[in-house]
Amino acid sequence: MDYKIFLSPPHMGDNEQKYINEVFKSNYIAPVGEFIDRFEQAVCSYTKSKYACAVINGTAAIHLALRILDIGERDKVLTSTFTFIGSVTPILFQKAEPIFIDSDASWNIDPNLLEDAIKKEKPKAVIITHLYGQMAKIEEIVYLCNKYGVYLVEDAAESLGATYKDKHSGTFGDFGIYSFNGNKIITTSSGGMLVSGNEEWIKKAKKLSTQAREPVDWYEHKEVGYNYRMSNVLAAIGVAQMEVLKERVKRKREIFALYEKHLKDIADFMPEIEYSKGNRWLTTLVFKNKNPFDVMEKLKRNYIESRPLWKPMHLQPVFKSAKAYLNKTSEHLFKKGLCLPSGTALSDKEIIDICQIVRR
C-alpha cells in the first residue's frame, strides 16, 4: 500500500456539514439546541428505546447509570474481563468493587461463570459488553439478573445496530449505553448515549449531566453533578450519521464476509450467537497457527493498521488485586487474535489485498 489504511476511521455521509452549518447559523453551539433532541429521538426511533440522554462519551453514560442505580462504596459490580477499560472505570468512580467474569465460546461473557459469581459475591449490578458488535447471550443474562435481583447495564458501545430476536442491543437491561467515538460504526467524533425504559431515570441523568442544576433562574445545586452533556454541534453530526446507520451495518457485514471467505482456512472468526445479528463493527479473528503480533507488524510495514484483541482486564496492572472468575478463554483470545481494518469506506479490492498480505 502507498497510503495508510486505518482500522476503523470515521465515514461521513451527505448531511453532516449541512446540519453543522445550521447549528452555527443558530449560534446554539453549546450543550443546548434542537439537534440534541433530534439525536436522542433518532436513537430511540432506531433502537426502540423509550428514553435517551446524549452525553460526551460512553464511559460517562455508564457512570451516570451507576450513579442513578445508587452503586456506591463497598458495592460489588460484576463485569466482563474481555473488554475496553471504559466499561470498568465508572465502577471505580463510584468507589465500588469490580469483579471480572471471563468469556465463553461466543467471546462474550460466560453466563455460567456469571451465575457462579452472582451466587458467591451478591453483587448490586452487572455490566456486560456486547463485544466487537456481537450480541452476548443476553436472554440468559437477563434471566440471571431477574432471578437474583441484580441491576443490568448493557455496554453496547460497540454494538449499535446489533439485534437479538430483532430487539436491539442496549434495550434489554435497566440501562444501555452507546458510543460515538471516532472509531465506532457511526461517530460524532466523541459522544455517547444513555438509554432506558425508565423516564425518571433519564430525567435524572439529564440533570446530573448538566452539573445537577436545579430548575430555577439562578444556579442552585442540591447535589453534585457532572459536565457530561453532549454539545449541539456533535449532536448535529449524530443526526446525520443516524441517517446512514443501516447502510453502515450492511457494509460492515459485507466486509466481515469477504475476510472470512479469504481467510477462513487459516483463522477462526468471532461467532454470532443463534437468533442474533451483529453489526460486525470490527472483523476479528483468531489465527490457527500464525502469531498475530507478527502479522500486525507486517501489516504496519505496509501502512495498514490492525490491533490485538482486548487485553483482559484481570491482566491489567491497575486491576492486579481484583477478583476474577476465569476459564482462560479471554487470555487465549488476546494471545492469538487480531482486529483487521473494517472501515466502511474500504473497497473489496483493498480487503482482498489485506488478506493476501496476511496470508504471506
How many residues make up the chain in this entry?
360
Residue 313 near residue 83 (C-beta atoms within 8 A)? yes
The cell for 161 is: 445496530
CATH architecture of 16-242: 3-Layer(aba) Sandwich (3.40)
The cell for 157 is: 458501545
Element spanning 287, H or E: strand 283-287
Q: Is the pLDDT of residue 360 over 80?
A: yes
For 345, residues 6+ apart whose C-beta sits below 8 A from its C-beta are 9, 11
Q: Beta strands 324-325 and 51-55: pairing type?
A: unpaired
Rounded to the nearest 10°, the torsion over CA 167, 164, 77, 64 is -30
Annotation: CATH topology of 245-359 = Aspartate Aminotransferase, domain 1 (3.90.1150)
Segment 224-231 shows an average pLDDT of 97
For 94, residues 6+ apart whose C-beta sits below 8 A from its C-beta are 63, 66, 67, 71, 72, 73, 75
Percentage of residues of the chain with pLDDT beyond 90? 98
Query: What is the model's pLDDT at position 1?
Result: 63
Q: What band does 100 get if pLDDT is binned at 50, 70 and 90?
A: very high
Residue 161 near residue 248 (C-beta atoms within 8 A)? yes
In the chain, domain spans: 16-242, 245-359
- On the 0-12 / 13-18 / 19+ scale of CB atoms within 10 A, 216 is exposed
What is the phi/psi pair of residue 73, to 5°? -55, 135
**In a 3-state reduction of DSSP, which class is residue 83?**
coil
Residue 57 near residue 179 (C-beta atoms within 8 A)? yes
DSSP string covering 23-58, please?
Answer: HHHHT--SS-SHHHHHHHHHHHHHHT-SEEEEES-H
pLDDT single digits (tens) 170-212: 999 999 999 999 999 999 999 999 999 999 999 999 999 999 9
Q: Beta strands 76-80 and 97-101: pairing type?
A: parallel
pLDDT single digits (tens) 291-337: 999 999 999 999 999 999 999 999 999 999 999 999 999 999 999 99
pLDDT single digits (tens) 252-263: 999 999 999 999
Q: Is the pLDDT of residue 17 over 90?
A: yes
pLDDT single digits (tens) 130-142: 999 999 999 999 9
Q: Cα separations (Å) of 114 from 47, 137, 147, 199? A: 26, 11, 12, 29
Q: Is the pLDDT of residue 30 over 90?
A: no
- DSSP secondary-structure letter at 9? -
Query: What is the model's pLDDT at position 3?
Result: 81
pLDDT single digits (tens) 143-157: 999 999 999 999 999
For 137, residues 6+ apart whose C-beta sits below 8 A from its C-beta are 104, 106, 108, 109, 111, 273
For 291, residues 6+ apart whose C-beta sits below 8 A from its C-beta are none
The cell for 327 is: 476459564
Percentage of residues of the chain with pLDDT beyond 70? 99
Angle at 349 between CA 343 and CA 350, to 5 degrees: 40
Query: What is the model's pLDDT at position 251?
Result: 98
Q: Is the pLDDT of residue 2 over 80?
A: no
CB neighbour burial string for 81-107, b if at least 16 within 10 angstroms, e if fewer: bbbbebbbebbeebebbbbbbbbbebb
Site of grid cell 475496553:
84
What is the Cα–Cα distance from 26 to 41, expressed in whole angstroms? 20
Query: What is the model's pLDDT at position 161?
Result: 98
Query: What is the model's pLDDT at position 31?
Result: 80
